[in-house]
Structure 1
Amino acid sequence: MSVVDHTAIELPAVRISEADVGDYIALLKPRVMSLVIFTALVGLVIAPGHFHPVLAFTSLLCIAVGAGASGALNMALEGDIDAVMSRTANRPIPRGRITKAEAMAFGMTLAFFSVMTLGILVNWYAGSLLAFTIFFYVVVYTLLLKRRTAQNIVIGGAAGSLPPVVAWVAATGSISVEPLLLFLIIFFWTPPHFWALALFRSDDYARAGVPMLPVVAGPDATRMQILLYTIVLVAIAAAPWPLGYFDFVYGITSLVLGAGMLVLAINVYVSRERSRSLRATRKLFAFSILYLFALFATLLIETVMRTVMPLVG
């Protein structure tokens, strides 16, 4: 009878995850999530009719978690890109804190529960639209567009433009012109915002092999595209006022903010010397964030005041 030497059997090493709560929060892309929550809140508030506060909170939570799921899945699929870009090298996956499989499992779990919860507790129209938003960002943008075309951010920007539409549909069960206007504002805001970033981060994108517009077409063509998209953005953002969808305060605010965006976009276009160009693009990138926040905040405040004033009177 042979004797088995148990000391010769080696068990496979078990990897102990080094991730902490902060690493999983980072996977959610909290800065992007905060913008998603805010734009969705505006879509929710301007929607007509009464929406129960618990359902409103549930809707915002599901949209936020869905955005976080998209961020986690995006990071799982772009770990190789993030590792060679200075802007993203400290994310959890490039640092080895979280594996791609763990990020995928985390993202898929969040996506499933956010969509199912919104569908079951609110309505399936909103749940389906949230599922489409996640799919569009992860599959269409991340997998199909990001590494293949310089128009990645233009087409892919549709995903980031949908949260206020999802919120409106959650509140009303239908769609209307107002949320589509919000969609268009974010959609045309996205290219000048991200191309400004891409201009002063073009070396990063070139090193990662991502065909962002400055890498493929050059900085001059990118400056022209930024200016053209900014002109369209300013026009679309101002249009709801004369069309009667949003009020006077929003209209004036959109014109003032739009003038600021246009001046900065023109400055980017005419600034060709490297140091001056970097300053111009950084200013446009920073102001574009303020632009979108202030525009939506004005709409939010205007709607709240319109609701509160009759009660006070």
Structure 2
Amino acid sequence: MLKPSPLIPTVWQSYFNLCKSNVVIEMIFTSTVGMLLAVPGLPPWSALVYGNIGIALAAASGAAMNHYVDRDIDKALNPHRPIPMGYLSPSQVLNFAVVVGIMGIIILAIMVNILTAILTLVSMLGYAVIYTKYLKRMTSQNIVIGGAFGATPPLLGWCAVTGSIHPHAILLVLIIFVWTPPHFWPLAIARLDKYQQIYNDHKIPMLPVTHGVALTRLHVLLYSILLLVVTILPSITGMSGLIYLAVAMPMGLGFIYYAILMRRRQDAKTAMATFWYSIVYITVLFAALLIDHYFRITL
């Protein structure tokens, strides 16, 4: 009898793959930054631990629901995912998403506070249902709209510690919201053939397909300029000091530089380079906010 191929994941590995761990880790990083920025010193350990566990479970649930809802287009766009590969059935994925999501919300409601639980539930359902099921299929500005739901982790982290919504937490959300389009559209340009195929087969309107690559590159440039402006606001409002500003300015100019390169070179390689830079950008930016919070330098 032939042994199972080592390339075929176990059932548990398949369930883990549903969670989009790289995305969840990035979300937990930004939620932790929100928690730490919410107080002068360190937040209570219970909010830090249980808050991040609940947020992570809710994010994993939303990711799994995305697998379930997008199972039709994943045959072309993400054929390696568990459902297209036949590793898990749609019902298994749906059940997993529901159970994990309920666990996350219960942990937040009991161990953290009701406001964080409600905001997390709204964010999870907004991404998994409103965006993935409907808005994603209705408008080429789907990434912009979807970014509103994906930008909430720092707000959730802040609320987990304070039990309230602060303008500085909203500012963190705004940064991620404006960052999302110029982060994703370069990837959409690099994978244009696949998005053209799913538009032909399933009518998913991605901006490079419906309005052209040239206009999408212009959007990336304009959003990168807007992002630079938005990321200066923490320093203007007194939320952060010179350390953060010394990082935000060159990183923002670097984003604009990559956006200009995309317009000049017009190739998939430059688009992918811009996409990877955007990931480094948001990580470094939030790390700078955190460092500045504890080692503040002001004029």
TM-score (norm 2): 0.92
Q: Is 1:56 aligned with 2:48?
A: yes
- Which of the residues 230, 236, 257 maps onto 1:236? 230
Partner SS for 1:93: helix
Residues 199-250 of structure 1: CA deviation (Å, up to 9, x unaligned): 0111111111221100100101101111111110111011211221111100
Amino acid at match of 2:70: E
Superposed, 1:130-169 pairs within 5 Å as 130-169=120-159
Q: Distance between the aligned counterparts of 2:100 and 2:121, measured in 1? A: 11
Q: Distance between the aligned counterparts of 2:72 and 2:81, measured in 1? A: 11
Q: CA deviation at 1:147?
A: 1.7
Q: CA deviation at 1:303?
A: 2.3
Q: Is the 8 A contact 1:62 1:118 kept in 2?
A: yes
- Which of the residues 255, 263, 279 maps onto 2:269? 279
Q: Give the unaligned 5+ runs of structure 2.
A: 1-8
Q: Is 1:34 aligned with 2:25?
A: yes
Q: CA deviation at 1:19?
A: 5.1
Q: Is the 8 A contact 1:68 1:107 kept in 2?
A: yes
Larger Rg: 1
Moved more, 21-30 or 295-304: 295-304
Amino acid at match of 2:188: A
Partner SS for 1:174: coil
Q: Distance between the aligned counterparts of 1:57 and 1:305, measured in 2? A: 24
Superposed, 1:1-313 pairs within 5 Å as 20-48=11-39, 51-85=43-77, 88-209=78-199, 210-272=204-266, 277-305=267-295
Partner SS for 1:98: coil
Partner SS for 1:251: helix
The equivalent residue for 2:3 is none
Q: Distance between the aligned counterparts of 1:300 and 1:23, measured in 2? A: 34
Q: CA deviation at 1:112?
A: 0.8
Q: Is the 8 A contact 2:179 2:227 kept in 1?
A: yes
Partner SS for 1:241: helix
Amino acid at match of 1:76: Y
Q: CA deviation at 1:301?
A: 2.2
Q: CA deviation at 1:271?
A: 2.5
Amino acid at match of 1:281: A
Q: Is the 8 A contact 2:46 2:112 kept in 1?
A: no
TM-score (norm 1): 0.88
Q: Is the 8 A contact 1:60 1:167 kept in 2?
A: yes
Amino acid at match of 2:139: T
Q: Is the 8 A contact 1:19 1:98 kept in 2?
A: no
Amino acid at match of 2:58: G
Amino acid at match of 1:185: I
Amino acid at match of 1:66: A
Moved more, 140-149 or 101-110: 140-149
Q: Distance between the aligned counterparts of 1:99 and 1:70, measured in 2? A: 17
